[in-house]
Structure 1
């Protein structure tokens, strides 16, 4: 019971900090190039990943991968997704971005068919269709014309979905710590090759925000790792949708964003479809495991 309670606490801490991190990212990206912000953020992430890997059984030698190409691809995908995501916070707002990002599990379910060879039954297909109907509500233009700016968060959701599917693929042979290590190191190297070309003098007070951004990046991942140590993924993943709520509150209260009724309705539909998809995947996995044991 105590471990479950601690798991929920760690999950809520991680989600809350992720939302705060999004707000800080929006503040910084409104004044500085996204690639610069992502590069500095990744430096802290890399140090954390190396520190975690060095403390694991076997140390850094234990993070050797059997899928180096896929691990590098994962790292590059996440790095690109972070740049797109923090750009989206400024272009379309925190709330709209997170609402569209919440369609990720639906995209993952679709991509798992050709990449992972998984089968998706009619229930999940129905949830996917309903979920994407919710996405259309979120994207519903007030002017009657489609706003091409929404392609940015849609692209971010697709990039992250490919990252998740590749993570599942490499998990067949590599440990979670190996994947975490490559995520941090590959992303930091990639950003360090590009970011310096976008270097801009950062105001002293914004260095404070940059430092907080790095601290939130490290602490949120640490709390999430601790949560996964104590709770099953099927419990944690639906709770991560609270980040949409927290980010929307920050967007409205601090940045003056406005939420339309169709956007809220669409977000509710997408979240419900996503939670069902996550639950259904877990139920099928348990059924397969039970069949294999018998």
Structure 2
């Protein structure tokens, strides 16, 4: 079986790789929206994303080390892969109806959901301050969704489902971080998704036309590059340092929405995004404080 590489202390490189990963994630969403608006079925776009990812993972890892296909925790790895697949299907379907800035902002609530899931699944203790921050974060999600307003679209529930699936995926990733090598995680997450979708998309297959061939071919590469960069970043820098970097994506999504789809974020999306980001940053800061107390040695009694 493939061995996980040891941690390194190269914070600057880790942060740059995480920014690069976030950029690739924005490219995935932008490519998916372009392809779906061009008439390709959402499931086929998801398949293209994971099949391309799997081909690259095999070329980079599987051919060099066939043992990378073997998992030390196959059931957890399978469940992790299915949660990632579910998140992608729901997110790509939502992108058919919602601006990319809205789906991206809702997904920013991931650290908030992960904080709640960490209690029963990881046995972590969450104090009152972080619980309040979680509630404030969900208030920000409501501001973005505006269930009371005329701009509310039912597809926002798909984004919430994508958020929950993605959060479960990240919790399982945390469980497997010291068990599985990057190669194994890349091969499983992409291979399981491609295998599940292949029989569903084959009969109704629609070939892209004209310019849509470009995002169709590139979307799998964006997925592979983004996940590999994020995994390596977490090996080079602490997760507590990398966590706030994901919020750079709101600027990337806003630029993509303006440049490709001629849409700009609404004032509600911006305000709700600020609330979610503020809540996420507070949770991140509290986790750093709590971990610092746990790691800090007790004073010597003299």
Distance 1:285 1:97 in 2: 31
Distance in 2, Cα, partners of 1:80 & 1:281: 28
Matched, 1:22 2:29: yes
Question: If the length of structure 1 is used for normalisation, what is the TM-score?
Answer: 0.88
Deviations 1:54-100 (Å, cap 9, x if unpaired)? 488xx332553332122111111111211111221221110100010
CA offset digits 1:123-157 (Å, max 9, x no partner): 21111011111111111157458532210111110
Q: Tell me whether 152-161 or 212-221 shows the greater mean CA deviation.
A: 212-221
In 2 relative to 1, CA 232–147 (structure 1 residues): closer, same or farther, beyond 3 Å?
same
Please name the residue that 1:33 is paired with.
41
Between the two proteins, the alignment pairs up a number of residues equal to 290
Residue 103 (structure 1) shift:
0.5
The equivalences for 1:147-226 within 5 A come to: 147-171=153-177, 173-226=179-232
Question: 5+ residue gaps in structure 2?
Answer: 1-8
Please state whether the residue corresponding to 2:261 is helix, strand or coil: coil
* Superposition TM-score, scaled by structure 2 size: 0.86
Q: Is the 8 A contact 1:35 1:198 kept in 2?
A: no
Q: Matches of residues 1-294 of structure 1 in structure 2 within 5 Å?
A: 3-30=10-37, 31-54=39-62, 59-61=65-67, 64-141=70-147, 143=149, 147-171=153-177, 173-290=179-296
Equivalent position of 2:5 in the other structure: none
Distance 1:231 1:193 in 2: 40
Q: Alpha carbons of 1:166 and 1:218: their partners in 2 closer, same or farther (altered >3 Å)?
A: closer
After TM superposition, give the deviation of residue 270 of structure 1 in Å. Answer: 0.2
Distance 2:235 2:177 in 1: 16
Shift of 1:228: 2.6
Q: CA RMSD in A?
A: 2.5
8 Å Cα contact 2:109/2:141 also seen in 1: yes
SS in 1 for 2:269: helix
| Distance in 2 (alpha carbons) for counterparts of 1:138 and 1:208 | 32
Contact 1:137 1:263 in 2 (8 A): yes
How far residue 283 of structure 1 moved from its aligned partner, in angstroms, is 3.5
C-alpha distance in 2 between matches for 1:24 and 1:104: 22
Q: Which has the higher helix share?
A: 1
